[in-house]
Amino acid sequence: MKKMLFFTVIIFSMASWQKPESGDWKNKVDASLLEKAYAGEEAEFLILLQEQADVSGSRQFRIKEEKAAFVFNKLQQTAKQTQGPVIALLEEAGAAYRPFYIVNAILATGKLDLIRRVAQLGAVAQVQDNPAVRLQPPLAEESGAPPISFRNALVEWGIDKINADDVWAMGYTGQGVVIGGQDTGYEWDHPAIRDTYRGWDGNTADHNHNWHDAIHSLIGDPNDTNPCGLDSAVPCDDHSHGTHTMGTMAGSESDEGKSIGVAPGATWIACRNMEKGAGTPATYIECFEWFLAPYDLNGENANVTYAPHVINNSWSCPESEGCNPSNFGTMQMVVDNLKASGIVVVVSAGNSGSNCATVNTPAAMYENSFSVGATQQNDTIAGFSSRGPVIADGSGRLKPNVAAPGVSVRSAVLNGGFANFSGTSMAGPHVAGLVALLISAKPELAGQVEEIESIIEQTALPLFSGQDCAEFSGQQIPNAVYGFGRADALAAVLEVLGVTGENGQPAAESLRVFPNPTGGQAFFRLDGAVGEAQVQAFSFSGQLVHSSRWNLADGNIKQVDLSALPSGIYWYRIALDGRQYQGRLVKQ
């Protein structure tokens, strides 16, 4: 393990160390780590410090880079001020270590005596195991869901299903947005994703600030080799899983000539957090830290301006493989800090369905993760897709947030190939790509994580289930099977454009539509508007189903009667004095 420091550490003398606190030091140490240590093993462990940075002040900033700079500085300051005594002990013991600041913690390697001495420091909150966690392989295709014919045969079914191609037709493809992926690595020069890699200018590659490898040692079989090696200076994938997810986010075309990427105009950067599908809490934390402020290949010049807008995380850390309630909180702080910096953290919900309460692992289980379940081509939930609510941490919070296509998804794999994979790992990238489309449609959304997540939830296609989980009925929205429903890129972008008006400038008038969903009668309230408005409503397929003109001199509340129309989603468009309002209307 490298001894890498990304900030100046104040080394204290032996006399300045804090005295051991009273009580049994073993209470601070994971039982699994103690078991290894008492067996005489040398083990990796995470030292979590008592003091953690308060980054809540980032809310005062609107601009993403300002949020990130505030969080970055706060985190580094806390680490500098508190890690000195622990690092001094590790240095004195000759132990290998790596400090983190995304969460105030240090990764170290040692035996029982070192673990004991570290745990006795009053500045230390916990000493946690750092177990290897193996990625769940892609799943077999679901049975019982007949193939669906889609309107656009030139795109993969998931692109069509979430209406991403309709957003492209409006001119928004993710341009100006950076997507981050942490996974098994990425075959950056794959024809489907090479041209969207931020480190490629069409002629030469520059991997500084665009790629990081958190795999410094073999995690699986120590006698095995890895095709990517260790500390790779070039983006490399030892598994195909990561390359497949990136193709769904920002890929071009498959071998069948179909578009595979939700946001083909976005660029991507990446971090390898798994070695042949096996990762540890430390490798995940290291990648998250790099995304906050990507540094170069020498581990220097960290800069928040290189950070992505959204990170896709198609991995989990199950309790059965070593992640347990004692370290759930550590990863949660990492996710919380990234969200505070203005980055959307998209996480696959997991493939442990179909029972309730199976969203039970980091990072899908956290409040500040945007968790995604998997749907089939007919918009029914995949049997493997994990359900909520989250009971692993006692919160009972509702998950997933939304669902997205995740069965038989075709995308890029190693050696320039393509393959169909199934899993929530395939669903999450659809939503990460959707985030890119939203920001390209409204650049002011960059860094506004809560607003982005709310838009995706509120514009999702409502889907109901016969499965009730705890107090969450499957017949309500949101529910613990689909969350708020299946993500819909067109509806989300229309909602965004409806906020600002067609010309991108805030409208003086304000529009409210209620009730929405409606049983038949929908009311439109246009405060501050004058003149005549043209009103149109369209079916989901684009057929005009209503057209009228309103004279706003007669009042600012107008009614549209949809009672004769079948249940479904409709789009409205209101033209008024050069402005245009667009949005979604749900008929129950």
Let me know: does 17 contact 123? Beta carbons within 8 Å: no
Question: For 457-474, b where at least 16 C-beta lie within 10 A, e where not — what string?
Answer: bebbbbbebebebeebeb
For residue 146, pLDDT over 70 is answered with no
Q: Determine if the peptide bond prior to 389 is cis (ω within 30°).
A: yes
Q: Which of 393, 354, 363, 436 minimizes the C-alpha distance to 144?
A: 354
Contact 486, 402 (CB under 8 A): yes
Region for 176 from its dihedrals, namely left if φ exceeds 0, alpha if ψ lies in -120 to 50, beta otherwise: left
Where do you find CATH 3.40.50.200 in the chain?
157-496
Rounded Cα distance, 431 and 321, in Å: 27
Burial 404-440 (b: 16+ CB within 10 A, else e): bbbbbbbbbbbeeebbebbbbbbbbbbbbbbbbbbbb
The two tokens of residue 390 are 């989250």
Look at the pTM and tell me if it is higher than 0.85. no
Query: Amino acid identity, residue 499?
Result: V
Phi, psi angle pair for 534, to nearest 5°: -95, 130
Q: DSSP string covering 49-64, please?
A: ES-----GGGGG--SH
Q: What pLDDT sits at residue 264? A: 98
In the numeric block, the tokens 């007919």 are attached to 378
CA of 561: how far to CAs of 359, 522, 524, 530, in Å? 41, 6, 11, 22
Phi, psi dihedral angles at 304 (to 5 degrees) = -70, -20
- Compute the chain's Rg from CA coordinates: 25
Number of residues that this document lists for the chain: 588
Name the pLDDT band for 583 (thresholds 50, 70, 90).
confident
Q: What share of the chain is helix, strand, coil (3-state, %, to 5)?
A: 25, 25, 50
Q: Evaluate if residue 510 carries a pLDDT over 70.
A: no
Distance from C-alpha of 66 to C-alpha of 466, rounded to nearest angstrom: 45
What is the reported pLDDT for 135?
Answer: 55
pLDDT at 22 over 60: no
CATH entry, 14-130, from 3.30.420.40, 3.30.70.80, 2.40.50.180, 3.40.50.150: 3.30.70.80
5: Cα within 13 Å, side-chain hemisphere: 12
According to the model, what pLDDT value does residue 503 have? 36
Query: May I ask the CATH architecture of the domain 157-496?
Result: 3-Layer(aba) Sandwich (3.40)
pLDDT digits (tens, 9 = 90+) for 317-329: 776 555 778 889 9
Of 77, 309, 70, 78, the residue nearest 177 (C-alpha): 309
460-478 mean pLDDT: 94
Give me the CATH code for the 503-587 domain, please. Answer: 2.60.40.1930
The string of pLDDT tens digits covering residues 202-240 is: 999 999 999 999 999 988 777 788 999 999 999 999 999
Q: Is the pLDDT of residue 12 over 80?
A: no
- Per-residue confidence band for 528, with pLDDT thresholds at 50, 70 and 90: confident
Tokens of 570: 């409709």
22-36, 125-139, 418-432, 520-534: the lowest-pLDDT one: 125-139
- As beta bridge partners, residue 133 has 279
Of all residues in the chain, the percent with pLDDT exceeding 70 is 89
Host H or E run for residue 128: strand 124-129
At 151 the pLDDT is 58
Question: Which residues make up the CATH 3.30.70.80 domain(s) of the chain?
Answer: 14-130
At which residue do the structure tokens 């105030």 appear?
Answer: 104
* 9-15 average pLDDT score: 32
Q: Where in the chain is the domain with CATH 2.60.40.1930?
A: 503-587
User: Which residues, other chains included, contact 126 with Cβ-Cβ below 8 Å and sequence gap of 6+?
Assistant: 28, 29, 30, 46, 47, 48, 326, 327, 330
High-pLDDT (> 90) share of the chain, %: 69
